[in-house]
Amino acid sequence: MKIVSIVLALILTAVTSFAVPGQSIKMHDLTFNTTIEFSAPISAGLDALLMVHPKDAKSGVEKMSITAVRFPADAVGTGGMSDAELLEYVKTVFLATSRPGTPVERTFLARKVLGEVLEKSIPTPSRAEVYVVSLKTGAKVVLGFVFAPDFAAQAGQVITEVEASLKE
């Protein structure tokens, strides 16, 4: 019996050593999962939330941040801001850049979404990906992923995880 207990303890230790940590995150009307830990979302302005990795990083030294800016249905669509205008607004106001980006496409909420990949220099040199995600309610959320150049591979994995797990 003692040998069986030892074997089970060793198996349990081996299995949990290789388990991938996860985090379920809610930002506005969206939830998603990541395998790396971010801070809790904090207010970054009117209808804007921000979270960073590592979770206790100071502004400007984080490896990655995710910004989500929500626009109500009456502010977008007919008579409101277009997706291109939303993208430019978020890039300028929340990501501190007005540089044009290279078009990129991802799938969020089972819909193809055209976004931009760009380089930025404020507050530190970094890369960014920005997307406008349409919700069932007619509202839109602009997702901005900003990351340090030396964190590009891990950031790409996080963006892919968000893309795969995003739900309303």
Task: Read off the pLDDT of residues 47-104 as tens digits, 9 standing for 90 and up.
Answer: 999 999 999 998 778 999 999 999 999 888 777 899 999 999 999 999 999 888 999 9
Q: Return the CATH architecture of domain 2-165.
A: 3-Layer(aba) Sandwich (3.40)
Q: Is the CB of residue 40 less than 8 Å from the CB of residue 54?
A: no
Tokens representing 112 are 């193809």
Residues 6 or more apart in contact with residue 98 via CB below 8 angstroms: 88, 91, 92
Residue ranges per structural domain of the chain: 2-165
Q: How far apart are CA 122 and CA 104, in angstroms?
A: 22
- Write down the H helix ranges in 48-149: 83-93
**Inter-residue contact 118 to 128 (CB < 8 Å):** yes
Q: Is the full-model pTM beyond 0.95? A: no
Report d(CA 107, CA 96) in Å as an integer.
25
